[in-house]
Structure 1
Amino acid sequence: MAPHKTPDATRRSDRSRRAILDSALALVGEVGYPRTTIEGIAARAGVGKQTIYRWWPSKAAVLMDAFLDLSARQNAGGDGAQDPGQPEAGPGIPDTGDLAADLKLVLRATVDELNDPATAAPTRALTAEGIIDPVLGAQFTEKLLDPQMELYVTRLRAAQEAGEVRADVDPRTALELLIAPLMHRWLLRTLPLTHAYADQIVDHTLRGLSPRS
């Protein structure tokens, strides 16, 4: 007779959490954030509502963790779309010695991410909900946006040390010159978001940041 094996509760919990996170992202992409419910996420994940409420207080909290998990898996080289603002899987923005080329690579990747339905729907949902819910908005900024923005700050400071960017430029303000136009066009949906547009943003921005002759 085969020996009895005790069920692995940790493994079962991990499977449930994974199913819940994946279901939250899928539902938001399919039906939109307003129509996504805890009940719907639970049904799709094959768990009870109380299982979700044991770990998260709201659907917004579930979506936040699902999006952070998606980003972590992408950065680790796993499947899934990459979050907006993160240029590529890896620890930071490339530094090839050519600032324009590095920034164009980053912004082109960001365009691809913003145009990807897998990340567009949850990003729009979190952005909108963060305006209504200041606590969620602060978490979204702290956990997702600030770490990404710091990558730009680090690259721009390196460019300052190399003499490619004026010493009096504030890197945090400079990165907003790069990111804000993309987000503005993406949020309004009035004009297409393209690689060519990303390249133009870099060219125009660097004209303002470069040392004067």
Structure 2
Amino acid sequence: MTNDNLLHLLQLASPTLPVGAYSYSEGLEILVERGVIDNPKQLKAWIDQELSYGAIRLEAAMMVRSYKSIQADDLEALSYWNAWASAAKETSELRSQSWQMGNSLIRLLVELEPELQSVARIVGTPCNYAIAFGIAAAYWQINLMAALLGYFQSWASNLINAGVKLIPLGQTVGQKLLLEITPVLSVASQDILALEDDEQLNSCTWGFALSSMAHETQYTRLFRS
């Protein structure tokens, strides 16, 4: 990548990107309250499992398809995959999160790059976060593997930061966790690039879906969902 491509990726994957990612724990909060996750080892196991089998893999696959649709100037495919991403959400909480973050990102992109306004109109509202991320990565000509790694790393950083606040963990422990899962992030990225549309777009995370649903009625919460 060029320096500009790299800087664009760092901006896109930054925790300071104003899309509200910090306000979600993706069900982690209820798991901590119930004692399912209460130490760094358990948090790492949860993240490893999600990267190997979970819904984040479908999210990343949608990002890849959004990226390729923009590259091919196939806006019909882009709209199709946005609808597919909405239909694939296991709970209303996860769908609301994806829509809120995606709508925030697509509005930001139009402000930064007015040429994307026509793309935003085709995708419409709501726009899923993975779709908006793929649009940005393709428009800024970020290498696809690098975009995938950035997408996964941003997701994992947000989940670890939630764990740091909830369990709680020290900031250094959180950084050690992020370093430890680096090989899993790399393997997951390679796997996603090989997924076929017809038979391999699936996930198996019952615990993740149940924790997301339970979070809605949790007595006290720091996070939205």
Q: TM-score if structure 2 supplies the norm length? A: 0.29
Q: TM-score if structure 1 supplies the norm length? A: 0.31
Looking at CA atoms only, which structure, 1 or 2, has the larger radius of gyration? 1
